Structure 1
Amino acid sequence: MTTLQHTHARRRPLGLTLLAVGALALAGCGAPAATPASTATADIHSGHSMPSASAGFNSADGMFAQMMIPHHEQAVQMSEIVLAKPGLDPRVVALAQQIRAAQAPEIATLKDWLAAWGQPESMPGHGAGEAMSGMMKDEDLGQLRSAEPAKASKLFLTQMIAHHEGAVEMARTETQEGQDGGAVGMASAIVASQSREIEEMKAILAQP
């Protein structure tokens, strides 16, 4: 057997052992153990490398995922509403496409993590979107649907700025209080990317 084959032979049992330990930790989970660093895996939903969930999640990680799922779902919904309109500002079209492309795969990843942690997709006793900063009400979405393209572009930007600010707030809380490496990593990426998008949207609104 070659040196490379020996290396692979040693790695396989270690990987299986780590998976078994993670499964046992989740099965007997009350208070999770100390968090190992999450490993990077290919995310099947987006095609990009995304940290996988670890067995050492805490309540902040669970709440982050449970709250960010409906928050992201509404951002995707808002993007699809505005993208269905003809004659939009091309900059708004590009932003809406960018938001939808980024957040749809993250929704799937968050759901996968909650399943791995043995947690429900929504917080018990809370409806989707309750107590979350930046969420639009039904009437807000109705205004976006009925708006003419020129007005819809500005309304979308105004609503999405508030929506992003809420997401950044939640993500910052996760970076400070979360334990799972994958969840904290996603939260850090949300803070960075959505903060940039907020500045871009404000710049568009400031121009005639």
Structure 2
Amino acid sequence: MNTTRTRAVLVALTATAVLALAACGSGDGTAHSGTPATAHAGASASDSAAGAHNAQDVTFAQRMIPHHRQALEMAELAAGRASSARVKDLAARIEKAQDPEIKTMSGWLKAWGEDVPMAGMDHGGHTGMAGMMDDTDMTALKKAEGTDFDTMFLTMMVEHHRGAVEMAGTERSQGAYAPATGLAGDIVTAQNAEIKEMKQLLGKG
């Protein structure tokens, strides 16, 4: 009888140990790496949210790319036509800032499976876009030199920047893709500062 009781106790202890090991292995919500399972789930949810975009994000990128390209075209003229060193410096800063932004936005559109605007399109195709110059404006700027170029460039670029700020403001309020709304915020800040600088150069600040 004692032998029977001993066996019963051993069986019970073994069963308890098995249950305890099972609980340690899977019942504490911890992965083998030591990272809580809930943390993995949270990271996945965060990644998904960061990658979300909407139609406004697409519109923003598809419109801002040609808008930036025209600003670069205008800025490139300054090196050989502007008389003011400050105008040349401003133009160089515009090129340095906006060229990488074009590449960034083009990358988003490709990742989303959307069309990237083609370079070299007539300016007339974008006349409905805020701040864009038409072919007549661009032809006049290309013919100007010296102080005439400086005044024309600054006047046109103020208008151009105002259009970009308007478009970026819409993205900030209606966009869903965090990197795009963040870039829009950067555009608003940088181009408003440049507008103030250009107005001072024009004697209107």
| Contact 2:127–2:134, Cα closer than 8 Å, also in 1 | no
Could you tell me which amino acid in structure 1 is paired with residue 58 of structure 2? G
TM-score (norm 1): 0.71
**Counting helix residues as a fraction of each chain, which structure ranks higher?**
2
How many equivalent residue pairs?
161
CA distance in 2, matches of 1:98, 1:181: 25
2:83 to 68, 85, 88: 88
In the other structure, the counterpart of 2:98 is 103
Task: Name the residue aligned to 1:178.
Answer: 175
TM-fit CA distance, 1:128: 4.8
Fraction of identical pairs, as percent? 44
Deviations 1:16-36 (A, max 9, x none): x96xxx8xxxxxxxxxxxx62
Q: More deviation in 66-75 or 135-144?
A: 135-144
User: Take 2:137 and 2:180, find their aligned partners in 1: how far apart are those partners?
Assistant: 30
Between the aligned partners of 1:138 and 1:130, the Cα distance in structure 2 is: 9
Point out where structure 1 has 5 or more consecutive residues left out of the alignment: 1-5, 8-13, 23-34, 38-53
Contact 1:111 1:121 survives alignment (8 Å): yes
**What aligned pairs does 1:59-74 form with structure 2 within 5 A after superposition?**
59-74=55-70
Structure with bigger RCO (C-alpha 8 Å, 6+ apart): 1
| CA 1:202–1:136: 2 relative to 1, 3 Å | same
Q: Which amino acid aligns with 1:155?
A: M
- Which amino acid counterpart does residue 98 of structure 2 have in structure 1? Q
Residues 148-192 of structure 1, C-alpha deviations (whole Å, 9 max, x = no match): 211001100000000000000000000000000000000000000
Is structure 2 residue 92 aligned with structure 1 residue 79? no
Contact kept? 1:82, 1:144, Cα under 8 Å: no
For normalisation by structure 2, the TM-score amounts to 0.72
| Structure 1 counterpart SS, 2:126 | coil
Shift of 1:139: 1.1
Greater Cα radius of gyration, structure 1 or 2: 2
Cα deviation, residue 129, structure 1 = 2.0
Query: 2: CA distance between counterparts of 1:130 and 1:140?
Result: 11
